[in-house]
Amino acid sequence: IYKPKSPPTILEWSLILGHQTAAQEAILHASGNGSTLPSKDYCMLYNPHWTALPSTLENATSISLMNLTTTPLCNLSDIPSTGIKDRAVAVQWGTCHFLEKARIAQRGGAETLLVANNSVRYPPSGNKSEFHDVRILIAFISHKDLKDMKQTLGNNITVKMYSPSWPNFDYTMVVIFAIAVFTVALGGYWSGLTELENLKAVTDTEDREMRKKKEEYLTFSPLTVVIFVVICCVMMVLLYFFYKWLVVYVMIAIFCIASATSLYNCLAALIHKIPYGQCKIVCRGKSIEVRLVFLSGLCIAIAVVWAVFRNEDRWAWILQDILGIAFCLNLIKTLKLPNFKSCVILLGLLLLYDVFFVFITPFITKNGESIMVELAAGPFGNNEKLPVVIRVPKLIYFSVMSVCLMPVSILGFGDIIVPGLLVAYCRRFDVQAGSSIYYVSSTIAYAVGMILTFVVLVLMKKGQPALLYLVPCTLITASVVAWRRKEMKKFWKGSSYQMMNHLDYATNEENQVIPGEQAIQQ
C-alpha cells in the first residue's frame, strides 16, 4: 500500500523524485492586463525544502513574468539587455542543467525560475547540494500550460505562487480500509457458503466425481503454492524490464477479461436469488436466462469502457475499483487452500516476496528505486499503470488544487487476495466444525493488520509492503485460536477438509447431511 507524503503529493511525483527533489504541488495564479479572462490558475511543482511558499493567494507576492523559452539561459550573455531583475523567468528545459539556469537567473536578479517541461508530472531530479548558492524559487510547469497562458492572458502577465495547505486527516485511508476489509470478509463468507452447498449436495456418483475433479483443480497444494510464488517473481522481473509491452498488450487485456468474468460471477450469484425475470432462450438444445445475457453484456461493457478511458483521472478509478473488488472476491471464493500448512507456506513466501521487491531491490537497481514501487507508479515517462491496485484519489474538484493531478492512495490486489485466502480457509473450517470463531477472529486480525499498516505509513511517510503487517496478524491469530481450541493438528493438516473432498459427503439413514467429524467417522 502506498500513500502520498504529508503534505500529500501525487504518488508518481513522490516516488520518482525521491529525496532529491521531494516534489510538491502548488498553484501558479496568472493574471493578464486587458484580457477577457483576467486570471487563471495553473499547476506547478516545486521543492518545499529548497524554498517556502505562502499557503494563501492573499499572502503571495505578485511578480511580472518574462518568457525566455527561446534562449537557453546557460550563460550570462543569454540574459536580455532589458534585464530580468525582480522577474519570474520562464525557460525551456534542456541545453544545461536547470540548476545552472537558476544560478544564471539569480545572478541576473530574477525572483523565480519557471522551467517549462513537456510534462510537469515527471520533472527531472537534481541535487541542490551541488548548487548551494542557488536561493531563488525553482518550479516546474507544463509547456502546454505556458503556451495556454500566453494565448489566454497575452504577453503582459503577472504571476502569484502559493501552496494551499492540505487537511491533516486523509480520508482515503478510511475508504481503502473499508474496501479491503469488506472484500476479505465477503470473499471468505462466500467461500464458506460454497463449502456448505457442497456438503448439502446430494447427487449421483458421476456428478460427485466431476465436482471432485473440479475442486482439485482449484485447490492449492504446497507444491502449487511454491510454483505460484516463483511465477510471481518471474512476472515481476519481466514487467520491470518489458513494462511498456507487457502492461499495454498483456496485463490490461488479462485484467479486462478476468475482471469482467469475475464481475459476472459476483452479480450472477445475486441475480439467481431473485425469483423474477427467469424467462429463457433455447439455442441448440441449451437454454440460458435472458437476464444473464444482458448481465454478461453489462460486465463486458464496463471492462471495455475502463480499458478505453483508463487514464482518465477523474472517474476511471471508480470502474477500476469495481472491477478490482469483483476480481478479488471471485478469486477468494474460487481458489482454495486445503490446510493451514498451505496457508503458512503461501503467506510466508509472499511476505518475503513483498519485502524483497520493496526493501531489497533498491540496492540492486541502477536508479536505486525498488521494483515494486516503480511498477506501482509506472516507470519514468510512461503513463500506463498496472491495473492491479485499488485506487482512491483525493476528491478535490471544488478546490483550487483541482488544476493539478489528484493525489492518490493505492492498495495492491495481492494485499486483499492473499490474506483473503486464509480467511476463506478459516470460514470453510468453521463450516466443518460447526463454529464461526476462526472466520470472525481472522477477519478482525486482518482489520487490525490494515490499521497497523496505516499507522506505520503515517509515521514513516513512505510506501509500505502491507503483507509485512497483514501476514503476521492473520497467521498468529489463526494459530492462537486453533491452539486454544485444541484443534491445531486438525487445523494444520486440514484432515477433515481433505477427507471431505474424498468422501464428498456422508448421510445417515434418513438421508440427512452429517457435517464435520461425524461424516468422517461414517
The residues that are catalytic are 354, 415
DSSP states of 424-489 as a string?
HHHHHHHHHHT--HHHHHHHHHHHHHHHHHHHHHHHHTS---THHHHHHHHHHHHHHHHHHTT-HH
Phi, psi of 424 (to 5 degrees): -65, -40
Looking at residue 403, the DSSP 8-state letter turns out to be G
What grid cell was written down for 394? 483525493
DSSP letters, 26-92, are: EEEEEEESS-SS-EEEEEEEE-TTT----SSSTTSPPEEEEE-TTS---SGGGS-TT--TTEEEEEE
Which helix (H) or strand (E) segment is 24 a member of? strand 24-32
In whole angstroms, what is the distance from residue 2 CA to residue 197 CA?
39
Distance CA 229, CA 293 (A): 36
Q: What gap in Å lies between CA 232 and CA 236, rounded to an integer? A: 6
Residue 362 CB: number of other CB atoms within 10 A?
A: 17
Q: Return d(Cα 109, Cα 136) in angstroms, integer.
A: 9
Alpha-carbon span 241 to 366, nearest angstrom: 12
Q: Which of 65, 66, 68, 127 is nearest to 93 (CA)?
A: 68
Strands (E), 307-458: 389-393, 408-412
41: which 3 cell numbers? Answer: 490558475
Q: Is the dihedral of CA 296, 412, 318, 245 positive or negative?
A: negative
Under 8 Å between Cβ of 408 and 392: yes
The residues with which 46 forms a beta bridge, in sequence order, are 24, 139
Helix 495-503 and helix 414-433: axis angle, to 10°?
A: 70
- Helix axis angle for 414-433 and 340-355, nearest 10°, is 170
DSSP codes of every residue in 184-220: HHHHHHHHHHHHHHHHH----HHHHHHHHHHHHHHBP
- Among left, alpha and beta (phi > 0; psi -120 to 50; other), residue 498 is alpha
E strand or H helix at 286, and its extent?
Answer: strand 286-289
